[in-house]
Amino acid sequence: MTQTQNMKIKFSTRFNKRYRKIPAKIQIATNKRVILFQNDKYYPVLNNHALAGKWAGYRSINITGDWRALFREFDNGSLIYFDIIDTHSNLYRH
């Protein structure tokens, strides 16, 4: 059963610019994870979770072991706005 049938996904300009610069294999992994997300945003491999600290208000999904996509939810989760894609180490650098 799909939890996210009426969900609309958008990507920020920042996300799209970064996406175009990342390695092709990470782009492919991102595409696959977004499809998984569309079908079930809590699919276990995504590790969808809320963030705290400087990323409070965002949620994160795993793209690969090191790559993450950060997003915000609006309209009770019916609008998903992917804003950032980067490595875990870059995102959480002090």
Q: What is the pLDDT of residue 2?
A: 42
Ramachandran category for residue 80: left, alpha or beta (phi over 0 → left; psi -120 to 50 → alpha) = beta
Domains of the chain, first to last: 8-91 (3.30.2310.20)
pLDDT tens figures, 16-60: 999 999 999 999 999 999 999 999 999 999 999 999 999 999 999
What phi and psi, each to the nearest 5 degrees, are found at residue 79? Answer: -120, 120
Q: What would the pLDDT profile of 59-89 be if each residue is shown by its tens digit? A: 999 999 999 999 999 998 899 999 999 999 9
pLDDT at 94: 60
CA separation, residue 83 to residues 1, 2, 47 (Å) = 27, 24, 17
Helix (H, G, I), strand (E, B) or coil at 7: coil
